[in-house]
Amino acid sequence: MGLKVTTFNVEWMVSFFDGDWNQWDGTIVDSFPGKKLGSINLAPIPDVPAVCRRIANVIQAVDPDILALQEGPPREEQMQLFVDTFLGGEYTVFGSNRQWQRNYALVKNNLAQRCRTEDWDDDQFKSNWKNTPYHPWGTIKLEDRKVHDFHRLPLVLHVSPPGQANPLELVVVHTKSKFSKLKNPQQWEERETAAVKDALLVRAKLSAEMKMLRHYYVKRLSQVGDDHAFMILGDFNDGPLAEEMEREFLIHNIIDEVVGSIMEPKAVLTHGMTPDVIANSATTRFRNPMKNGALTEELIDHIVVSNGLLNGTSGYQFDQSSCVVNKAEFEAENDETAQHDERQLRPSDHLPVSAQIDF
């Protein structure tokens, strides 16, 4: 027997509900004129159901048993309406804390009764994701120290398939982005102080979130044992290689913090993909301010797994050869090109990643 798990950032689903949270009228709109949310400009979508069908067709082609979904709508009723309308009601919806971009797990109905989530509103659970200290670049005094909280709380899902003595634990994440005041290569080349410091600041906050994920994993191992079947999957907003700013200022690659230390070999996490697949994979592309606005592809959506899941001692066996970007399924629904960057033409600005777990 086995389970197929997929992570997919579906790009600002709240747009399908007219960009509304509290004043939502209970429908998926026919068209969306665009909207400004703080510093974010949500793109207009002339035909919303068509984009919904693009997303749904990708999901149905991949056909996961468990879908870790990021940038879902703020209300579970909105997510359920999308599932009922475009996915035939085949999934049960589990949500994390309510945000404009919310984390979800969609679980096939025949498995959902064997799942439970940690209560995101529980104070003890929330304490795992808050008050992590960091210092803005160049500060050392105690009064300069800041603390960071996870804005989009991870969704923790426990799955107990038939015949399994111990549950599989999945953590759905969407970490902080690297968007900053550093917008063009001239700012970088001239070391424009405000822009570079802001870019370093957002990376420090992202680093704090990786630290919280790491601490949560180590704590869980201490509670349930080294052979625990544990997985973190989602949009990490960081790739497998140190980019220029990390090489020059931070020394290390941010995502590596969650993997662990050579001093804790039993608590090391491993990337779900094989090295050859990692080297040839990308899940998003963007205009890179460090490269004069050139289109840059990067792998920032990941699945990382515990030793017990990778080597099978947990009672679950992660199939590393199965962990891939679902590019064919995505491109079958994608009409966007480098010259035509429009929300209407794509399922999302991220590609999904999937893997198989046997038991």
pLDDT in tens, 104-142: 999 999 999 999 999 999 999 999 999 999 888 889 999
Q: What percent of the chain has pLDDT over 90?
A: 72
**What pLDDT sits at residue 169?**
98
Out of 11-20, 147-156, 254-263, 321-330, which region has the weakest mean confidence (pLDDT)?
Answer: 254-263
Q: What is the pLDDT of residues 309-324, one digit of tens each?
A: 999 999 999 999 999 9
> Looking at the DSSP assignment, which residues form a beta bridge with residue 69?
8, 104
Angle between helices 76-86 and 48-62 (to 10 degrees): 80
* DSSP E strands, 153-311: 155-159, 168-174, 230-235, 270-271, 284-288, 294-298, 301-305
Q: Which two tokens stand for residue 56?
A: 């749904």
32 has pLDDT over 60? yes
> Looking at the DSSP assignment, which residues form a beta bridge with residue 271?
304
First to last CA, the chain: 6
Q: Which two tokens stand for residue 106?
A: 């969609």
Q: Longest Cα pair distance anywhere in the chain, in angstroms?
A: 61
Query: 48 by DSSP, 3-state: which?
Result: helix
**What pLDDT sits at residue 217?**
94
Q: What is the pLDDT of residues 65-93, one digit of tens each?
A: 999 999 999 999 999 999 999 999 999 99
242: burial class by Cβ within 10 Å (0-12, 13-18, 19+)? middle
Q: Which two tokens stand for residue 34?
A: 């665009």
21 has pLDDT over 80? yes
Helical (H) or strand (E) element with 107: strand 102-108
Residue for token pair 């994993």: 217
Q: Which of 40, 38, 34 is nearest to 15 (CA)?
A: 34
Please answer whether residues 97 and 152 qualify as being in contact, where contact means their C-beta atoms are separated by less than 8 angstroms.
Answer: yes
Exposure letters 12-35 (e unless 16+ CB within 10 A, then b):
bbbbbbbbbeeebeeebbeebeeb
Q: What is the pLDDT of residues 221-267, one digit of tens each?
A: 999 998 999 999 999 988 655 567 777 776 567 788 888 888 888 89
Q: Please give the Cα distance from 92 to 107 (Å, whole number).
A: 5
182 has pLDDT over 90? no
Mean pLDDT of the chain, nearest integer:
92
178 has pLDDT over 70? yes
**What pLDDT sits at residue 241?**
53
CB neighbour list of residue 11: distance below 8 Å, 6 or more residues apart:
71, 343, 346, 348, 349, 350
Out of 4-18, 157-171, 200-214, which region has the weakest mean confidence (pLDDT)?
Answer: 200-214
Q: Please give the Cα distance from 213 to 275 (Å, whole number).
A: 23
CB neighbour list of residue 344: distance below 8 Å, 6 or more residues apart:
45, 46, 47, 50, 51
Q: Please give the Cα distance from 175 to 184 (Å, whole number).
A: 23
- Identify which has the larger pLDDT, 290 or 20: 20
Q: How remote is the C-alpha of 260 from its chain's centroid? A: 19
